[in-house]
Amino acid sequence: MRWGGLLLALGGALLSAQDVASNPFRGDAKAADLGKASFRLRCSACHGIRADGGRGPALNRGEFAAGDTDLDIYRVIAEGVPGTEMSGYAARNSEESIWRIVTFLRTLEASPDDTIDGNASQGEDIFWNQAGCGGCHRVGSRGGRFGPALTRIGRARSTEHLRASLLDPDQDLPPGYYAVEIVTRDGQTIRGIGVGFDDFSAQVRDAAGQLHSFFREEVRSMSREFTSLMPDGYGDSLTDEQQRDLLAYLQSLHGEEQ
């Protein structure tokens, strides 16, 4: 969204771009403390209690993927980032509350990124070949669509989260990627990503991308599991060096087409 001449809906009120052009709390220690409390309440589940990353990227590096000005940070918090799990908070927070969070983030001492000691080029080869990740995951215009797209995963996830997701994929499931298993009356088992599931019906997308839909009374059983369909054996099938190479490749993915 371009800011010049547009109106922003914030907390139910329409404000011009000029109204939010500068941080009214910049350098205000009390506002930063209030922003810290808001951050821990609303943001820490994804970005870490110390803003050092988790499901979401670390915010204590002194730089931000969507821009480094206060207004850039404000815009991301208020509007979210399309195509990611970062939703906008404008409807749930006042303009002042968002600026206080921005002010808090500016107080954080920049910490260097936890760079993985691996060879990203070799990791790319492991991703597409030995580990077979591209069969389910898309990078740019290449790969499968069964699992989440990874085109910008190095920007969207912390290093520690990438490592944990590789070795223990059940630890933190991406939203909407729970498993559903259907056993038909003739004994066929269909297992895939749940598209919909309730007391009466289930919809599941299999690894080939085919969508199946069933009513409960039509099948022998249907169950939902909040577990990952990603293989959990990479800790055994890949050496420590190969794991580091693969993680280095994932860390390098910042949104560029491959």
Domain spans in the chain, listed from the N-terminal domain onward: 7-107, 120-173+231-251, 179-225
Half-sphere exposure of 23 (CA within 13 A, CB side): 24
What was the pLDDT predicted at 21? 61
Residue 102 is encoded by which pair of tokens? 């921005």
Residue 166 is encoded by which pair of tokens? 């590789």
What was the pLDDT predicted at 103? 94
Cβ atoms 165, 243 nearer than 8 A: no
Question: What percent of the chain clears pLDDT 90, i.e. is strictly above it?
Answer: 53
- Looking at every residue in the chain, the average pLDDT score rounds to 85
Confidence class for position 20, pLDDT limits 50, 70, 90: low
What was the pLDDT predicted at 37? 94
| CA 198 from centre of chain | 26
Kindly provide the b/e burial profile for residues 141-155, where b requires at least 16 CB atoms within 10 angstroms of the residue's own CB.
eebbebbbebbbbbb
CATH of domain 179-225: 2.30.30.100
What was the pLDDT predicted at 38? 94
| CA 230 from centre of chain | 16
Sign of CA dihedral 38, 43, 44, 49: negative
Confidence class for position 256, pLDDT limits 50, 70, 90: low
- The fold of the 120-173+231-251 domain, in CATH, is Cytochrome Bc1 Complex; Chain D, domain 2 (1.10.760)
Residue 3 is encoded by which pair of tokens? 């800011």
Let me know if the fold of 120-173+231-251 is the same as that of 179-225: no
- The fold of the 7-107 domain, in CATH, is Cytochrome Bc1 Complex; Chain D, domain 2 (1.10.760)
> Which of the pair, 85 or 91, is modelled with greater confidence?
91
Tell me the C-alpha to C-alpha distance, in Å, between residue 12 and each of 39, 82, 91, 147, 157: 21, 20, 6, 36, 31
Lowest mean pLDDT among 4-8, 47-51, 184-188: 4-8
Confidence class for position 258, pLDDT limits 50, 70, 90: very low
Task: Tell me, yes or no, if the pTM score tops 0.75.
Answer: no
Q: Is 187 exposed, middle or buried (0-12, 13-18, 19+ CB in 10 A)?
A: exposed
Confidence class for position 15, pLDDT limits 50, 70, 90: very low
Cβ atoms 253, 151 nearer than 8 A: yes
